[in-house]
């Protein structure tokens, strides 16, 4: 029995080390992106020891110039530092503050722009090549009338298919959004662990952040 337990521990250790070694930060290509939190310090060096030379505010559009290649874990997100430009400021920020994609809409037609930003926590090369990992609700930022929705309901999502989307959803290829009748429909493509290859997940929620429905199609 003792030998069996030691063998199990050995297998777990090997699996854990292999899995960690296959986690990498998603590369954010040069281009225009939005800031998903605030205030964000811009530093004169690509690390937390750099001197603060400016600040970015929520939804600011920045230009990513260069990936500095020095990845860092902060709040369970693995990202590189980037050289960026905003207005007359040029410096460095950590990539976890940069939305990989942003949707701008007006759910209640009141003239105040609403935003959905999301980021990729890390890239997992173990299960599938370049699988992007996003965690609910931590990595999705939805702002309605300048207030962030409390999306804790995402933490317990289930599709009815073996609870696949509970706590964590892996997806690749990005996200899309539809807005109609004061509701958001968030659509994702997620790789599955079955031979079919993948699933589509649709999450419908109201303007208060309440999840109305979750559906899935292979």
Which pLDDT score is estimated for 212? 85
Cα dihedral 187, 120, 198, 194 sign: negative
- pLDDT band for position 10 (cuts 50, 70, 90): very low
* 90 CB burial (10 A radius; 0-12, 13-18, 19+): middle
Angle at Cα 153 formed by Cα 149 and Cα 156, nearest 5°?
150
- pLDDT band for position 8 (cuts 50, 70, 90): very low
Joined together, the tokens standing for residue 55 give 């600040």
- Rounded-to-integer distance, Cα 105 and Cα 44, Å: 34
Residue 179 has pLDDT above 70, yes or no: yes
Specify whether the CB–CB gap between 131 and 105 falls below 8 A: no
Angle at Cα 91 formed by Cα 74 and Cα 100, nearest 5°?
50
Neighbours of 58 (CB within 10 A): 17
Specify whether the CB–CB gap between 152 and 140 falls below 8 A: no
Residue 103 has pLDDT above 90, yes or no: yes
3-state secondary structure 170-197: EECCCEEEEEECCEEEEEEEEECCCCCC
Instruction: For the chain, give the mean pLDDT.
Output: 79
- Rounded-to-integer distance, Cα 179 and Cα 154, Å: 18
- pLDDT band for position 42 (cuts 50, 70, 90): very high
Which pLDDT score is estimated for 194? 39
Q: Lowest-pLDDT range, 15-19, 62-66, 175-179?
A: 15-19
* pLDDT average, residue stretch 111-124: 90
- Rounded-to-integer distance, Cα 179 and Cα 24, Å: 33
CATH code of the region 24-97:
2.30.30.40
Specify whether the CB–CB gap between 42 and 55 falls below 8 A: yes
Which pLDDT score is estimated for 190? 60
pTM of the predicted structure, to 2 decimals? 0.79
Angle at Cα 38 formed by Cα 33 and Cα 41, nearest 5°?
85
The domain segmentation of the chain, as residue ranges, is 24-97, 101-217
For residue 209, give the nearest of 169, 154, 161, 157 by alpha carbon. Answer: 154
DSSP code of 211? E
Joined together, the tokens standing for residue 119 give 């980021």
Which pLDDT score is estimated for 1? 53
Which pLDDT score is estimated for 125? 66
Residue whose entry in the numeric block shows the structure tokens 């539809």: 178
**122 DSSP β-pair partners:** 133
The string of pLDDT tens digits covering residues 136-177 is 678 889 999 999 887 665 655 555 544 444 444 555 556 789
Residue % of the chain over a pLDDT of 90: 45
């Amino acid at each position: 029995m003792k030998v069996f337990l030691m063998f199990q521990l050995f297998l777990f250790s090997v699996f854990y080390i292999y899995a960690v070694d296959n986690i990498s930060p998603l590369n954010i290509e040069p281009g225009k992106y939005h800031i998903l939190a605030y205030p964000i310090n811009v530093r004169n060096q690509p690390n937390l020891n750099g001197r603060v030379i400016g600040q970015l505010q929520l939804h600011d559009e920045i230009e990513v110039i260069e990936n500095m290649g020095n990845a860092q874990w902060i709040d369970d997100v693995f990202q590189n530092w980037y050289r960026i430009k905003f207005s007359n400021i040029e410096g460095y920020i950590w990539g976890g503050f940069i939305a990989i994609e942003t949707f701008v809409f007006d759910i209640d037609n009141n003239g105040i722009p609403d935003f959905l930003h999301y980021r990729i926590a890390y890239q997992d090369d173990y299960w599938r090549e370049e699988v992007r990992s996003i965690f609910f609700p931590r990595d999705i930022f939805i702002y309605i009338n300048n207030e962030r929705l409390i999306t804790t309901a995402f933490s317990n999502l289930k599709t009815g298919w073996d609870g696949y989307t509970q706590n964590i959803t892996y997806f690749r290829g990005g996200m899309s959004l539809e807005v109609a009748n004061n509701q958001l429909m968030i659509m994702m493509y997620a790789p599955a662990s079955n031979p079919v290859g993948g699933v589509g997940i649709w999450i419908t929620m109201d303007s208060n952040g309440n999840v109305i429905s979750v559906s899935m199609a292979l």
